[in-house]
Amino acid sequence: MGGDTQEDVTGSSEEVSEDVVDVPQDQLIAIGDFENVMYETTGHAEVWLLANGSYELRFSDDFSTTGMLPAPSVAMSVDPEIGPTLIAEDGDLDLGGLPTVTGAQSFALPFAPGPREYAWVWCKPFGIEVARAHLVAP
């Protein structure tokens, strides 16, 4: 009769472990606290290598800066001072406008950050250095 047979549906632990796949995880590669330059800014910046191989600059949940600027922007630079303009030939990278002046946010990096050691919040129209985070390995 067809219902009298049983099949072994349990596998050995060796069979199960062969099916386990290591899933790449995001890796923190640099971090730094924001320092006031012209305006009070709190929180920190982080550079992450994402599981898909891309890079991202992230601002912490407790990030906060002034709301008095007309167009706050985000940049990365090798320099501890950026002055009124970014200089791409020197390695400065404009990441665009700051979506909000408080809270967590992230910015895609078009390539590996390389030697860029500073994340900046600055006012692009007036060339005002708002705050910087010196990024170092965690």
Ordered DSSP codes for 46-97:
EEEE-TTS-EEEEE-TT-B--S--SSEEEEEESSS--TTS--GGGT-EEEEE
| Residue 111 CB partners (closer than 8 Å, separation 6+) | 55
Give Cα 26 to chain centroid, integer Å.
10
For residues 52-78, give the mean pLDDT.
94
Close Cβ partners of 80 (under 8 Å, ≥ 6 residues apart): 117, 118, 132, 134
The whole-number pLDDT of residue 105 equals: 98
- pLDDT over 90, % of the chain: 64
Residue given tokens 């006012």 in the structure block: 123
Q: What is the pTM of this model?
A: 0.80
